[in-house]
């Protein structure tokens, strides 16, 4: 892991000097600001039971669906298409170092983008002057959920990127994987069929893996280690498959 930090700092640098990062950030903040303004408008019309932060984070999947594929689709497939993966892997670095370096750089940017939405809450706090709007519990819980689930989401994006030399294919694949994980599981667990007694084990599994339930728990301040473990094990698995994917493509190139 000698070169992990070299690759990580290089990747972060490249992300920070590239124009596309800033375009993505501006668009991300525009969309999120729009959502946030919409949430606040509801509050101005009628009293609501939950805090704005809870409602805001309920919509986490929307930016995840387009930001994660955009951030990660380039990382390995672009290098493979250009052929620079060959120069990179013939330097004294291991595939694991390359994949982890790229993964953590993308994750860093993902966190940075989400952290910038903290500005919305600061503005709300500054100008609303009503502390009830800023319930610290759901806010911190929400960000913690974003940070922990982001590990898995970004890892899925890196996995998709390691499987194709075409960025577009990698992007669509990442989107599909995320969609299946977030919406697909949620939908499957709400099927009528799942109420059958014989489906009880399947129901338990689906319920365990439901992202929306995790979000509820986190924003209520319940940090369940089983849920943390779900994301961590998923991350490790996705990264191992990414490393294997890069290796397999190299061996069969």
Partner 1 sequence: MSADLPAIEVRDLVKTYAGVTAVNKVSFTVARGEILGFLGPNGAGKSTTMRILTGYLPANSGQVTVCGLSVATHSDEVKNFIGYMPENNPLPDDMRVSEYLHYRGRLKGLSRGKLGVRLDEVLDLCDLKRVRHRIIGTLSKGFRQRVGIAEAILAEPPVIIMDEPTIGLDPHQILIVRDLIASLRGRMTVIISSHILPEIEMTCDRVLIINQGRVVTQGAPADLRREVFGHSRYELEIAGDTAAALPAALVRIEPTLHIADAGEPDAAGFRKLSLTTVRDDDLGETLLRALAADERFRLRALNRVQPSLEDVFLASTRRGWDAVDAPKGASK
| Residues lying near partner 1 in the complex (CB under 8 A) | 2-3, 6-7, 10, 14, 17-18, 82-84, 86-94, 250-251, 253
CB-wise, 40 or 89, nearer to partner 1?
Answer: 89
Residue 172 CA to residue 192 CA, distance in Å, equals 30
CB-wise, 46 or 91, nearer to partner 1?
Answer: 91
User: Which ranges of 117-224 would DSSP assign to H, the alpha helix?
Assistant: 118-128, 136-163, 167-179, 185-189, 200-208, 211-219
At closest approach, how far in Å is the CB of 252 from partner 1? 8
User: Which one, of 146, 154, 152, 11, lies nearest residue 78 by Cα?
Assistant: 11
**CB-based contact 79:158 (threshold 8 Å):** no
CB-wise, 54 or 77, nearer to partner 1?
Answer: 77
CB-wise, 87 or 195, nearer to partner 1?
Answer: 87
CB-wise, 5 or 62, nearer to partner 1?
Answer: 5
At closest approach, how far in Å is the CB of 59 from partner 1? 33
At closest approach, how far in Å is the CB of 167 from partner 1? 15
CA torsion angle for 141, 146, 5, 73 (degrees, to 10)?
180
At closest approach, how far in Å is the CB of 92 from partner 1? 4
Is 2 strand, coil or helix?
A: coil
At closest approach, how far in Å is the CB of 86 from partner 1? 5
Query: How is residue 193 annotated by DSSP?
Result: G
Residue 88 CA to residue 179 CA, distance in Å, equals 32
């Amino acid at each position: 892991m000698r070169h992990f930090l070299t690759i990580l700092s290089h990747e972060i640098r490249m992300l920070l000097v590239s124009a596309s990062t800033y375009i993505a950030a501006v668009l991300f903040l525009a969309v999120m600001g729009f959502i946030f303004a919409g949430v606040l408008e509801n509050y101005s019309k009628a009293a609501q039971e939950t805090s704005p932060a809870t409602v805001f984070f309920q919509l986490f999947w929307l930016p995840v669906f387009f930001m994660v594929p955009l951030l990660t689709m380039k990382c390995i497939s672009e290098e493979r298409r250009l052929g620079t993966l060959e120069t990179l892997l013939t330097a004294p670095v291991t595939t694991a170092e390359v994949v982890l370096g790229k993964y953590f750089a993308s994750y860093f940017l993902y966190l940075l983008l989400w952290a910038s939405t903290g500005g919305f809450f600061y503005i709300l706090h500054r100008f609303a002057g009503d502390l009830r709007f800023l319930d610290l519990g759901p806010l911190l819980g929400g960000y913690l959920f974003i940070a922990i689930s982001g590990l898995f989401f970004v890892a899925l994006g890196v996995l998709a990127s390691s499987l194709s030399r075409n960025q577009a294919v990698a992007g669509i694949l990442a989107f599909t994987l995320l969609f299946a994980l977030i919406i697909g599981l949620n939908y499957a667990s709400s099927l009528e069929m799942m109420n059958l007694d014989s489906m009880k084990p399947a129901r338990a599994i689906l319920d365990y893996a439901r992202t929306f339930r995790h979000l509820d728990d986190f924003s209520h301040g319940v940090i369940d280690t089983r849920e943390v473990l779900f994301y961590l094990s998923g991350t490790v698995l996705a990264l191992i498959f990414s490393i294997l994917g890069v290796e397999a493509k190299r061996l069969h190139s």
